[in-house]
Amino acid sequence: MEKQLHLNLLASRPPMAGGFQSSSKMKMGPGRKRDFSPLPWSQYFETMEDVEVESENGKDISLIYCSGSHGPVLLLLHGGGHSALSWAVFTAVICSRINCRVVAMDLRAHGDTKVKNPDDLSADTMAKDIGKVVEALYGENPPPIMIIGHSMGGAIAVHTANANHIPSLLGLCVIDVVEGTAMDALNSMQNFLRSRPKTFKSLENAIEWSVKSGQIRNIESARVSMGGQVKKCEESTSSSGVSNSIGEGIIEEEEEEEAEEESNKKRMKEDDQEIKKECIFTWRVELSKTEKYWEGWFRGLSALFLTCPVPKLLLLAGVDRLDKDLTIGQMQGKFQMQVLPQCGHAVHEDAPEKVADALATFMVRHKFTEFKEGYLC
């Protein structure tokens, strides 16, 4: 039961169905070698730019990636610990389907966004950030905007819409976050975060871990998005900081606790010797330190979602995600829902084409845009 609770919160966790099982050893097939080298953002987005906005303590700089020149704006908000690069493959696909513009934003304290107070990750502050960036980009007359958010970003999208920070809001799309299961998962989230590697020997190792652990099931997306999740360590890491690190391959889960403990001790010694020689990567965001904000992101989310006065789309990795309020709301036709099976929590990364097709169909049905000439839906 506890393993299922992690699906809708801050970050992905290894899948329990259709992928690697948590008790199985994660190995590559004989004779197979996959490419885990990073891919550049420019292969998927047209431009990258800094957006400067005023804050109480000075100026904040938000990094955005953009594509498209006409049509409604799709404002993309990533999940906790991720970055705008998690939308890279999806952006390339959606721009081939419909007439639209894409703005994918690194939220505060994530990716390469720089703010004066990175410790403030409250829903209210993050929602205001979205409004400030939209105003900085488009002034007092913004174009029609569809806001789309995954996990934590989905919660922030709902808060942004509910607070009317985007006056030209067309619609709202939330991906794999539901209040009921998210709130249930809070108690066990710290254990999940502690189970992740703390460091990686290289960006390639981080990409390899994300794929083999099932965090991201689409290797292409992992190759472009993991660079937004990890960074080079600024200082040499002491032995106490590398007790959970990834070396030249994926750490295998041992069936016996004693064997696992011995293996950990051995890895610690090996890492100690190698750390000083190699540049290490670690997570950009220490999600465990954001715990005081988790409840504020998700408490009351279903009611807020249902009361947003725009057309709404909810995309889920499994029908079991629905809580009571959303089940009733869905039966009453208050929003459109689509389940995309065989996906992990990072639905838009695992199945970018399916998410793009669902969103394109939704937007064309509501006459927000049109399919591109020559595209066969």
Residues marked active site are found at: 151, 176, 345
Task: For strands 281-283 and 199-200, give the pairing.
Answer: antiparallel
Query: CA torsion sign, 246 to 248 to 250 to 252?
Result: negative
Residue with tokens 């539901």: 178
Inter-residue long-range contacts of 303-310, CB under 8 Å, 24+ positions, other chains counted: 304/158, 304/159, 304/162, 305/158, 305/172, 305/174, 305/329, 305/335, 306/334, 306/335, 307/162, 308/158, 308/161, 308/162, 308/172, 310/161, 310/169, 310/170, 310/171, 310/172
The answer to whether the CB of 15 falls within 8 A of the CB of 213 is no
Tell which residue, 35, 40, 63, 13, has the closest CA to residue 225.
Answer: 40
Tell me which residue of 6, 153, 33 sits closest to 85, measured CA to CA.
Answer: 153
CB 155 within 8 A of CB 298: yes
Spatial separation of the C-alpha atoms in residues 321 and 377, rounded to whole Å? 28
Structure tokens at 369: 């845009």
